[in-house]
Structure 1
Amino acid sequence: MTDKKNFDSDFCGSIPLHHINSTQDYGYLLVLDKKLNIIQLSENVSGLLESRAEDLINKNIADFIQTQDLAKIEALLKKGISKSIPLYLQFNKQDNTDLFLALLHIKADYIIIELEKQQENSNRSFADVFQEIKYISTAIDQADSVQEVCDIAIHELRKLSGFDGVLMYRFDTDWNGTVIAEEKDERLERYLGQTFPASDVPKQARQMYLKNPYRLIPNRDFEPVRLYPVINPVTNAFIDLSDCNLRSVAKVHLEYMKNMNVKASMSIRVIYNETLWGLISCHHLEPKYIGYELCSIFEWLSEVISTKISLILNKQDYRNSKQIQQKRVELSDQVYAYDDITAGLFKDDEQDILHLLNASGALISINGRSETKGEVPDRNDLFNLTQWLESKNLNTVYSTNSLASLFEDAGEYSNSASGLLFIPINNVKGDFLMCFRREAIEDINWGGDPNQAINFTADGKKYHPRNSFENWKQTVYKQALPWNKHELEVAESLRSFLFEFAIKQSQQ
């Protein structure tokens, strides 16, 4: 492959994961109306409450839980809390001392209650939990780079959880994820440095990580538990389980886990600027259940990791913005000093337009006079490219790091001009500035062939994930390093300055 495709599958992104209408089997799910009557449930609740599912519908939750627990739920409803709230519940079954962790999701028209049976000796003191988190968060807080944060995070999360393997991958602008840190049992395949296509974590799955900080699958071989009734009587539709931990898993993902040779997994989000920046993925060779307490610690650490990475990236972003803005001021001063746009942008080799925009070549055309600097296409190619750009009638900055994919002729000179930044100065007079970036050949090590991420059967009715994650190398040609946001912002600022300067010169 020579082109860099976008593997964010429209098909994968359209699978209704939030309306999967079944749960995993490590817990129970109840749906109550605002009067606390049961209107929907996972079918395994029948065994818990020793009644048929149909006989439990329209029964009040007060008939099954202790008075003090009912009071807790009623108090939360009176406070108008809309977030997910954990509390402990005990059912009124005879000779039953089982304690359940209940997670209440209070919606506008109904309440979802997720129930997980508490394991013996699972409740540790707050001091023990806090000490554990304090140690990890302190280590992360002392990190100086994003890579150091990632390395510390996966090491501590693996030690804390006991998973056979933990890795972190970062999403690129096309939502492909590259593994940037990894710590694993020797029996698990290594993926450090490999890139996984965007379809592995499709669009709607990424959106759900903005609602839910983690996703736990204790056993890929679980038997899905259906909901009864199938249709939620309040909404007259499948119920939205987006923020439920017990939400079942798409078959294609379970097959994906099988192909990776893991039986349990857990994913934890990393957020930057309210966007999904990356995921921490935990794998285990055998089934592995993680209790709510440890899941809550992971949720907390997700915030700690996200905050630290955001702090480091924001500092870098501020420093980069300040540096390029300073260069832009110096270049503007130089234009004033020469009283000439071309001389001001081109003459000083230590302080010119190439240094400002990290370009390898430039062409400027002012008052019908053109001049070039650095590596540029030949005269005929520049003429044809200019004609193509003029046909677009651009009045703002235009950029691409893959010119050949937009203008076929550019493939002939991609070594000098794979990237283009076009700055119109005065459309009426045909004045413009054009900057180029040379080709940056890129090798991508994919975790399996991304073209085989989803494979349909011959009849088109069933689909399967790729069955190999062996390194699949792609070399990308005819692309340049992308223009970053600071370069584009300063280019637009420079466009305004050059337009005003040119107008003043014409009035002299």
Structure 2
Amino acid sequence: MQKKNYDSDFCGSVPLNFINQIQPYGFLVILKRSDLSIIQVSQNIAGLLNEEPDQLINKSFNQFVEEQETKVFHTRFENKVDKLPVPLTINANGQRKKYLAITHAKEEYFILEIEEVQSKDDKDNSFISVYQDIKQAAYAIESADTVEDAYDITLRELKRISGFDKIMIYQFDKDWNGIVVGEIQEEGMESYMGLRFPASDIPKQARQLYLKNPYRQIPDCNYTPVKLYPIINPLTQTFIDLSDCNIRGVPAVHTEYLRNMKISASMSTRIIKDEKLWGLISCHHRDPKFLSYELCSVFELLSGILSAKFSSIQNKEEYDYSSRLQEIHAKLVEQIYRQGNVVEAISNGDSTILDLLNIEGAAISYKKNLETVGKTPDKNSLKDLIIWLQTNNIDKTFHTTELSDVYEDGLKFTDIASGMIVLPIHAEKGEYILGFRPEVVEKVNWGGNPDEAINFEKDGKNYHPRNSFKLWQQTVKNTSLPWQKHELTVAENFRNVLVEYALKKYNPDVAK
């Protein structure tokens, strides 16, 4: 079986940001920017302001908060600062309570996500405690020598700080499937370590939202959604865009997914590498669990530290590998010009074309001769392959990990040539260097059958996630190890050397 793409177009088209519902762990208030009048609220607003939604519309928010606190909305947001936590003291029914409003500044209005501030005696609301947690965890992560050590330390520290039953590090592959590369959990929970989850579990639109929002909290997946009043934003005459809101409601299919995992609460924090979504820190809890804004911020900060550490370690590994390839490249170039024989120079000696391209076999078609080194298809098969390259006008560096997927006759020799890289020297004359990588039969361990990730009812409208996440193994054949970025770079540089050398040989005037 060959690899499949499980990134569902259907799931990726669901409008998550216009869900028009919130989770009930907080309140949503939308204020007109010009005068701070209330234009839209969540229908649980009576729990905050002691008045029903229809009674609040067009009232000034000033009558519910301290006067000096509302000045923030006219001063701090002038420079387009967004997602700013604003402390509020709400006066309702003769009582004064402390709240925190995560404020989003839009062109015509403010969106306030409001949650009650817990007692100052609570550990996670103390600046000192939060700072100490971050300092201790950051120091531990920075001490890691390998990526695996960084995983383990991060998981251990976040579990200590948060108390979640299970925390995983979830890495996306090139097809956006997620692989659990690190895990810590309480006894009795099903382990997902090493399992792969299809891209449709976190579809494209959800992944895009993680680029806007550092984390996503679901304190209780069994919650009853809270709608907005009025349904339509009176300023935009549309559903309000809740893309930036942590309190945004959750699609029913995802809460069902969490229940099928036998968990009640979840928390996911993004990991960014090279300005792209690399993965997630995914937390599960068997009972409902709410994290304060302060503790969520700890996750956000530590994910940034973890991202920087990953980059530091991986960049060093990549630099070391790139440097080694460059050394081999220099040796081969020196051998070519010293010996004056391309085939001999790259086939024999301390360093060969096999070392440069990390391959097990190579075919060199040059000056009407076809020579091989290492493990390659037979010469008749190679000649047919060269004709195919010419027919398809492959005159630039080309690579594939699934040769049989683009060249049908490749099925005859997948054991030694599932992967191929092509360095054209003079395509019209059939002069190429072909590098081959053998088949690597991969056992892919999925968390449940990926072909059953989405199950539609008979009406074709309603759908449900899979209800099993037990090991489902898939055997992937006819593929090789992937070609790394530095390997492709050095291959292109080496091809340029060969083209220049051949050009000088064919046209001696070029060298003058």
Q: Aligned equivalents of 1:309 and 1:469: distance in 2?
A: 28
- Amino acid of the structure 2 residue aligned with 1:290: L
Cα distance per residue 1:231-283 (max 9 Å; x no partner): 22333322221121101101111011011000001111111111111111111
Give me the CA root mean square deviation: 1.4
Deviation at 1:108, TM superposition (A): 2.7
SS of corresponding position for 1:428: helix
TM-score by length of 2: 0.96
| Equivalent AA in structure 2 for residue 330 of structure 1 | K
Q: Which residue is 1:20 aligned to?
A: 19
Query: In the alignment, what sits opposite 2:453?
Result: 453
Q: Counterpart in 2 of 1:199?
A: 200
Determine the C-alpha separation between the residues in 1 that align with 2:471 and 2:160: 28
Between 429-438 and 22-31, the greater mean CA deviation after superposition: 429-438
Per the TM alignment, residue 124 of structure 1 is displaced from its structure 2 partner at its CA by 4.0
- Superposed displacement of residue 187, structure 1: 2.4
CA contact (8 A) 2:88 2:101 kept: yes
CA–CA distance in structure 2, aligned partners of residues 20 and 315 of structure 1: 43
Q: How many residues align?
A: 505
Q: For structure 1, which runs of at least 5 residues remain unmatched after alignment?
A: none
Amino acid at match of 2:420: L
CA distance in 1 between counterparts of 2:255 and 2:226 reads 15
Deviation for aligned residue 1:28: 0.5
Once the two structures are superposed, residues 119-163 of structure 1 have per-residue CA deviations (whole angstroms, 9 ceiling, x without a partner) of 223374422221221111101000001110110111111111111
Contact persistence 1:354–1:360 (CA under 8 A): yes
Displacement after TM superposition at 1:56 (Å): 2.1
Q: Which residue in the other structure is 1:98 paired with?
A: 97
Please say if residues 166 and 282 of structure 1, whose CA atoms lie closer than 8 Å, have aligned partners that are also in contact.
Answer: yes
User: How far, CA to CA, are the matches of 2:413 and 2:507 in structure 1?
Assistant: 39
> Which residue does 1:428 correspond to in 2?
428
Match of 2:384? 384
Assess if the C-alpha contact under 8 Å between 1:82 and 1:107 holds in 2. Answer: no
- Give matches, 1:83-482, under 5 Å: 83-120=82-119, 121-122=121-122, 124-348=125-349, 350-482=350-482
1:319 deviates by: 1.6
CA contact (8 A) 2:50 2:93 kept: no
Larger deviation: 410-419 or 80-89? 80-89
Counterpart of 2:52 in structure 1: which amino acid?
A: R
Q: Which amino acid aligns with 2:358?
A: N
Alpha-carbon distance in 1 for matches of 2:406, 2:459: 35
Q: Distance in 2 between matches of 1:329 and 1:422?
A: 20
CA distance in 2, matches of 1:473, 1:322: 38
Does structure 1 conserve the Cα–Cα contact (< 8 Å) formed by 2:118 and 2:125?
A: no
Paired with 1:342 and 1:236, the residues of 2 have a C-alpha distance of 71
The question of whether the paired residues in 2 share the 8 Å contact of 1:103 and 1:115 is answered with yes
Counterpart residue type for residue 202 of structure 1: P
Q: Structure 1 432/132 Cα, relative in aligned 2: closer, same or farther at 3 Å?
A: same
Cα distance per residue 1:380-416 (max 9 Å; x no partner): 3222222222122123211100111222221121001
- Distance, in Å, in 2 between the alignment partners of 1:241 and 1:459 is 30
Which residue does 2:498 correspond to in 1?
498
Q: Could you say if the C-alpha distance between residues 375 and 252 of structure 1 is closer, same or farther in structure 2, counting changes exceeding 3 Å?
A: same
Alpha-carbon distance in 2 for matches of 1:321, 1:230: 56
- TM-score relative to the length of structure 1: 0.96
1:69 has 2:69 as partner: yes
Cα 1:126–1:400 change in 2 (3 A) is same
User: Which is worse superposed, 456-465 or 55-64?
Assistant: 55-64
